[in-house]
């Protein structure tokens, strides 16, 4: 597995291998968004387990962009000491950590955010819990500003990079999707217009963090909903981002309304079920000059090695396997090539809603039985 564990980099960020912990909501923060001690210890455990790069759980940039309980927030300077402690602990464990920034848009939860949800258009679609309020031009400018302010905080707190969340039906993805973006102004219509908001967010963040600071994106290659974003437009957006200097693109797909084609598919129990976004990631890889990450159902080192060595993908992102086995990268590196023990049941997320943080339910049940 020499390709998996070869040293590499994203912009100025040196990485020990090609494995990435994909952003995962953990549900381990205080109600106001301050990271809790359990979350900091969890990142410490991930760093010690050998993952090349940790991408934080999705972090709201302003309160009205919040979706789930226990979600992390970087909308205020009040959490500076806690964030500094987080990045210090990861670095002391030999790890690297980037923060993922998000605005949930029409998928925001009013009970969590205290605000009616905002979206590109006031449309009724399956992925929105209620019909959202259409964003005004002023709202758009304010959100772009909130992204840049959050980015300045993240850089000052010692994060090694920033990922913009442009997938899974959240606000920037909502602008890209013809289904959720039915605007008649310069932000709606053609893909050039629908991507305008994303490019403004990217350019504003880049202007405040600088050219040498790693700035990358999580992008839906396809929404898998009727009328949503399709691969052709995702490739076009990726090419433009590459030309603008994006440092990496992580390719995902699906929304909460995509049925069996959700971003976190179940029953990944055989190699043929793995790597379900790889072909889309390769289509984007063919058209860009920046590194590309593929996420989605990777469970075995053989499939990962093949994606890197034979297909040419730059990084492989993992999420659920690391909830069960945070030391999975080290296990593979030490020669234990058994696939990840994760059975893709998605039960890990329920404790985040009700018990203060995600964990592998089957693993804990097995431990209790012994």
Cβ–Cβ under 8 Å, residues 222 and 265: no
Which residues touch 302 (CB under 8 Å, ≥6 apart)? 271, 337
202 catalytic per annotation: no
On whether residue 2 sits in a domain, the answer given is no
Domain holding 94, by residue range, is 8-369
Q: Is 124 buried (19+), middle (13-18) or exposed (0-12) by CB count in 10 A?
A: exposed
Q: Classify strands 315-318 and 292-295 as parallel, antiparallel or unpaired.
A: parallel
> What pLDDT, on a 0 to 100 scale, did the predictor assign at position 13?
98
pLDDT 10s per residue in the chain (370 long)? 689 999 999 999 999 999 999 999 999 999 999 999 999 999 999 999 999 999 999 999 999 999 999 999 999 999 999 999 999 999 999 999 999 999 999 999 999 899 999 999 999 999 999 999 999 999 999 999 999 999 999 999 999 999 999 999 999 999 999 999 999 999 999 999 999 999 999 999 999 999 999 999 999 999 999 999 999 999 999 999 999 999 999 999 999 999 999 999 999 989 999 999 999 999 999 999 999 999 999 999 999 999 999 999 999 999 999 999 999 999 999 999 999 999 999 999 999 998 889 999 999 988 888 7
On whether residue 86 sits in a domain, the answer given is yes
On whether residue 233 sits in a domain, the answer given is yes
Rounded to 10 deg, the angle between the 37-48 and 80-92 helix axes is 20
On whether residue 1 sits in a domain, the answer given is no
Cα 312 off chain centre by: 21
| DSSP assignment string, 20-77 | EE-------B-TTSPBPHHHHHHHHHHHHTT-SEEEEEEEESSGGG--STT-EE-SSG
**Choosing from 170, 187, 202, 224, which is the catalytic residue?**
170
On whether residue 130 sits in a domain, the answer given is yes
On whether residue 338 sits in a domain, the answer given is yes
Closest CA relative to residue 111, chosen from 63, 40, 144? 63
pTM of the entire predicted model? 0.97
Cα 185 off chain centre by: 29
Q: What DSSP state is assigned to residue 288?
A: -
On whether residue 204 sits in a domain, the answer given is yes
Domain harbouring 209, CATH code = 3.20.20.70
> What pLDDT, on a 0 to 100 scale, did the predictor assign at position 1?
65
- Structurally, the chain folds into a number of domains equal to 1
Cβ–Cβ under 8 Å, residues 231 and 237: no
CA distance 166 to 171: 7
On whether residue 131 sits in a domain, the answer given is yes
């Amino acid at each position: 597995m020499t390709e998996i564990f070869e040293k590499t980099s994203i912009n100025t960020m040196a990485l020990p291998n090609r494995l990435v912990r994909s952003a995962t909501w953990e549900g381990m923060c205080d109600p106001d968004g301050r990271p809790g001690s359990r979350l900091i210890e969890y990142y410490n455990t991930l760093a010690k387990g050998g993952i090349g790069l940790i991408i934080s759980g999705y972090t709201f940039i302003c309160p009205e962009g919040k979706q789930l309980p226990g979600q992390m927030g970087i909308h205020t300077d009040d959490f500076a000491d806690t964030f500094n402690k987080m990045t210090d602990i990861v670095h002391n464990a030999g790890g690297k950590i980037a923060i993922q920034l998000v605005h949930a848009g029409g998928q925001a939860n009013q009970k969590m955010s205290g605000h009616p949800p905002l979206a590109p258009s006031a449309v009724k679609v399956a992925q929105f819990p209620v019909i959202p309020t259409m964003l005004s031009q002023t709202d758009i400018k304010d959100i772009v500003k909130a992204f840049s302010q959050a980015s300045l905080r993240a850089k000052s707190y010692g994060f090694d990079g920033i990922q913009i969340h442009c997938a899974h039906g959240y606000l920037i993805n909502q602008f890209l999707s013809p289904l959720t973006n039915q605007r008649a102004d310069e932000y709606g219509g053609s893909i050039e217009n629908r991507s305008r908001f994303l490019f403004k967010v990217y350019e504003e963040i880049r202007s405040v963090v600088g050219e040498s600071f790693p700035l990358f994106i999580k992008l839906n290659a396809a929404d898998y909903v009727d009328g949503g974003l399709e691969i052709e437009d995702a490739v076009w957006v990726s090419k433009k981002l590459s030309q603008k200097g994006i440092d990496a693109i992580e390719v995902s797909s699906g929304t909460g309304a995509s049925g069996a084609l959700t971003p976190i598919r179940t029953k990944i129990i055989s190699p043929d079920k793995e790597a379900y976004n790889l072909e889309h990631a390769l289509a984007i890889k063919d058209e860009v000059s920046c590194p590309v990450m593929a996420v989605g159902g990777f469970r075995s080192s053989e499939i990962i090695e093949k994606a890197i060595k034979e297909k040419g993908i730059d990084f492989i992102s993992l999420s659920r396997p690391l909830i069960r086995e945070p030391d999975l990268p080290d296990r593979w590196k030490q020669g234990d090539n058994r696939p990840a023990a994760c059975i893709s049941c998605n039960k890990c997320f329920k404790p985040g809603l009700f018990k203060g943080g995600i964990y592998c339910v089957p693993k804990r049940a097995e431990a209790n039985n012994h």
